[in-house]
Amino acid sequence: MKVDQKGHTTIIKDTQNNIEAFVGKITNEYHVFQSQNLILDLSHDKAISNGDLVHFKELAKNHKEAKKSMIIVSDAVDFDKVPNYLNVVPSVLEAHDMIEMDEIERDLGF
């Protein structure tokens, strides 16, 4: 797991290609990241499937309740089948754009 913090956003990159272990590490250290917008970079893992995304459900729920954005980066999933509770984009640049849009919506009270 590689962590890079830039301003109000933390990018966490999975380095082991094990989704369950990755989610477990983030959950165990969640107190460190809870006040940050999160970009979970899974872009190097080409074996990830839509079924693997279910592991992020509880983490996504907790982060949304904290009024922060959590974006998953992967181009290996079928975007039409991504669950509604998750935000998945194909690149880190798009993740940053999505966080900016989410922050504008929160500032406007949506």
**51-76 per-position pLDDT tens digit:** 999 999 999 999 999 999 999 999 99
Residue 36 tokens, joined: 């940050």
| Spatial CB neighbours of 62, under 8 Å, sequence gap ≥ 6 | 30, 34
CA distances from 22 to 3, 27, 83, 110 (A): 12, 9, 19, 31
Check which CATH number belongs to the domain holding 88 and give it. 3.30.750.24
**pLDDT tens digits, residue range 17-47?**
899 999 999 999 999 999 999 999 999 998 8
pTM for the model: 0.93
How far apart CA 63 and CA 67 sit, in angstroms, is 7
Total domains in the fold of the chain = 1
Structural domain boundaries enclosing 86:
2-108
Report how far apart, in Å, the C-alpha atoms of 101 and of each of 66, 94, 107, 108 are.
Answer: 17, 11, 10, 11
